[in-house]
Structure 1
Amino acid sequence: MALGKPNLAHHSCFNIGDEVEVTSADHSLRGTLFPAKIIARLCKTNKFVVEYKSLEATDVPLRESVDTVLLRPLPPPENDHTFHFGDEVDAFFSGGWWEGIITQVDEGPAYWVYFRFAKQEFHFQPSEMRPHREWINGTWLPPREVSLKTEANSSKARMNKFSKGTAVEVSSDEDGFQGAWFAATVINARGQDKYLVKYKSLRTEDDMDYLREEVDIQHIRPRPPNAVMIDSYDLNEEVEAFCNDGWWEGVISKVVKGSRYKVYFKGTKDEVEFQHSDLRPRQDWIEGTWVRASQALKF
Structure 2
Amino acid sequence: MADDLNSVFKSGAEVEISSNDNGFRGAWYAGTIIKSKNTKTKQQLIQVEYKTLMSDESGTKPLRETLNVVQLRPLPPREKRDRDFKFSEEVDAYYNDGWWEGVITGVLPGNRYSVFFRATREQLEFSGSELRLHREWFYGNWVPPLEQEAEATISIELNICDNNKFIKGATVEVCSDEDGFYGAWFTAMILEHLSNGSFKIEYKSLRNDDDTAFLTEVVDTNHIRPCPPKEKIEHFRLFEEVDALYNDGWWVGVVSKVLSRQRYEVFFRGTNEEIVFKQGDLRRHLERINGKWLSSSVVCNSIRNSNSR
Which range, TM-score by smaller chain?
Answer: 0.5 to 0.7
Q: State the alpha-carbon separation in 2 of the partners of residues 130 and 245 from structure 1.
A: 34
Q: What's the TM-score, normalizing by structure 2?
A: 0.51
Give the aligned residue type for 2:284.
P
Structure 2 residue matching 1:145: 3-state secondary structure: strand
Q: How does 1:1-299 map to 2 (within 5 A)?
A: 104-106=45-47, 137=85, 139-140=93-94, 142=99, 144-145=101-102, 158-226=162-230, 228-293=231-296
1:175 positional shift? 2.1
1:91 positional shift? 7.7
Structure 1's 159 and 109: CA in aligned 2 closer, same or farther, altered over 3 A?
Answer: closer
Structure 1's 207 and 218: CA in aligned 2 closer, same or farther, altered over 3 A?
Answer: same
Structure 1's 174 and 293: CA in aligned 2 closer, same or farther, altered over 3 A?
Answer: farther
Q: State the alpha-carbon separation in 1 of the partners of residues 218 and 84 from structure 2.
A: 29
Structure 2 residue matching 1:277: 3-state secondary structure: helix
1:235 positional shift? 1.3
What is residue 150 of structure 2 aligned with on the other side?
none
Structure 2 residue matching 1:271: 3-state secondary structure: strand
Tell whether the 8 Å contact from 2:18 to 2:29 is kept in structure 1 after alignment. Answer: no
Q: State the alpha-carbon separation in 2 of the partners of residues 83 and 270 from structure 1.
A: 13
Tell whether the 8 Å contact from 1:104 to 1:113 is kept in structure 2 after alignment. Answer: yes
1:223 positional shift? 1.0
What is residue 137 of structure 2 aligned with on the other side?
none
1:136 positional shift? 8.1
Tell whether the 8 Å contact from 1:169 to 1:222 is kept in structure 2 after alignment. Answer: yes
Tell whether the 8 Å contact from 1:168 to 1:221 is kept in structure 2 after alignment. Answer: yes
Q: State the alpha-carbon separation in 2 of the partners of residues 264 and 133 from structure 1.
A: 29
Tell whether the 8 Å contact from 1:237 to 1:251 is kept in structure 2 after alignment. Answer: yes
Structure 1 residue matching 2:228: 3-state secondary structure: coil
Q: State the alpha-carbon separation in 1 of the partners of residues 287 and 168 from structure 2.
A: 23
1:286 positional shift? 2.2
Q: State the alpha-carbon separation in 2 of the partners of residues 203 and 275 from structure 1.
A: 25
Q: State the alpha-carbon separation in 2 of the partners of residues 109 and 250 from structure 1.
A: 21
Larger Rg: 1
1:198 positional shift? 0.5
Give the aligned residue type for 1:201.
S
Structure 1's 189 and 230: CA in aligned 2 closer, same or farther, altered over 3 A?
Answer: same
Give the aligned residue type for 1:264.
F
Q: State the alpha-carbon separation in 2 of the partners of residues 268 and 223 from structure 1.
A: 24
Q: State the alpha-carbon separation in 1 of the partners of residues 215 and 117 from structure 2.
A: 27
1:105 positional shift? 2.6
Deviations 1:11-48 (A, max 9, x none): xxxxxxxxxxxxxxxxxxxxxxxxxxxxxxxxxxxxxx
Structure 2 residue matching 1:144: 3-state secondary structure: strand
Q: State the alpha-carbon separation in 1 of the partners of residues 208 and 235 from structure 2.
A: 37
Q: State the alpha-carbon separation in 2 of the partners of residues 132 and 90 from structure 1.
A: 13
Q: State the alpha-carbon separation in 2 of the partners of residues 170 and 281 from structure 1.
A: 18
**CA root-mean-square deviation:** 4.5
Tell whether the 8 Å contact from 1:200 to 1:210 is kept in structure 2 after alignment. Answer: yes
Q: What's the TM-score, normalizing by structure 1?
A: 0.53
Structure 1's 178 and 84: CA in aligned 2 closer, same or farther, altered over 3 A?
Answer: closer
What is residue 13 of structure 2 aligned with on the other side?
none
Structure 1's 133 and 282: CA in aligned 2 closer, same or farther, altered over 3 A?
Answer: farther
What is residue 16 of structure 1 aligned with on the other side?
none
1:285 positional shift? 1.9
